[in-house]
Amino acid sequence: MASAAPSPTEYVTHHLTHLKVGEGFWSLHVDTLFFSWVLGLLMIWFFRMGANRATAGVPGRVQNFVETLVEFADKTVRESFPGPRAFMGPLCLTIFVWVLLWNLMDLIPVDWLPRLAHDVFGLEYLRVVPSADPNATFGLSITVFLLIIYYGLKGKGVGGFAKEFVTHPFGANPLLVPFNLILNVVEMIAKPVSLALRLFGNLYAAELIFILIAMLPWWIQWIPGGIWAVFHILVIPLQAFIFMVLTAVYIGLAYEHH
């Protein structure tokens, strides 16, 4: 807790404020970027370690683990996406592992890293869970959104994609075109929004609860904290998995002919 015994409101607000540079839209959450980069590089380093030593013979532990992840992602893509998987596989693998690592940051006791940043580096604010920052989740889901459009155009062609936009789902009657269009636009926009908000909401809420638990007396914290952490261990991979599967499903739907 901060030095001068802050009020609960101050404590919570402090924990929910990003380390930020710049003003307005053109500002950056340095903490989110830093931790997602560190985790992402950790992920890439680990993957590379598995891939560099990849042999067709008996796999080592790292290779085995990376292979399990690769197969898992590959299987998920195969089930929902009918096209070539050279890009889709790495996409889903990256999403799953990266988001999983983001979410895992939630299990680090809420005061440790902010305290360290404050005392050692003199940073006023620090939030360590990238997935509790909507910028991070929207960054992911908007990229996915662009890929949905890209794969829609690639799978159906510009004409096919546009045609589906105005004739689906109600039919090709000219009178129905506006309704089709409105529904499709809403549906299109709902995809990245729901993807991002689902992940953000889950992790933000979880982080908030950990913060609230941290305000209890120290000798009782382990009971609610332990219970919540155990519950959260289920949420962490689940949310990462949902993000990956929905990405594969959305892109698969956009790619496929109806």
Q: Which residues make up the interface to another protein (CB under 8 A)? A: 18, 20, 22, 24-29, 32-33, 36-37, 40, 43-44, 47-48, 50-52, 54-57, 59, 63, 66-67, 70-71, 74, 86-87, 89-91, 93-94, 98, 130, 133-136, 138-140, 142-143
DSSP 205-229: HHHHHHHHHTTS-TTTTHHHHHHHH
Is the CB of residue 15 less than 8 Å from the CB of residue 31?
Answer: no
Closer by beta carbon to another protein, 67 or else 164: 67
What is the smallest separation between the CB atom of 107 and another protein, expressed in angstroms?
A: 21
Beta carbon of residue 28, minimum distance to another protein (angstroms, whole number) = 5
180 is catalytic: no
The length of the chain is 258
Q: 138 or 165: whose CB is closer to another protein?
A: 138
* Dihedral in degrees, nearest 10, Cα atoms 140, 28, 42, 99: -30
> Least CB distance from residue 247 to another protein, whole Å?
11
Query: Please, are residues 247 and 89 in contact by the beta-carbon 8 Å criterion?
Result: no
Name which of 144 and 213 has its Cβ closer to another protein.
Answer: 144
Instruction: Return d(Cα 15, Cα 204) in angstroms, integer.
Output: 11
Q: Is 194 a catalytic residue?
A: yes
Cα–Cα distance between 193 and 47 in angstroms, integer?
Answer: 29
Beta carbon of residue 146, minimum distance to another protein (angstroms, whole number): 8
Catalytically active residues are 194, 198, 202
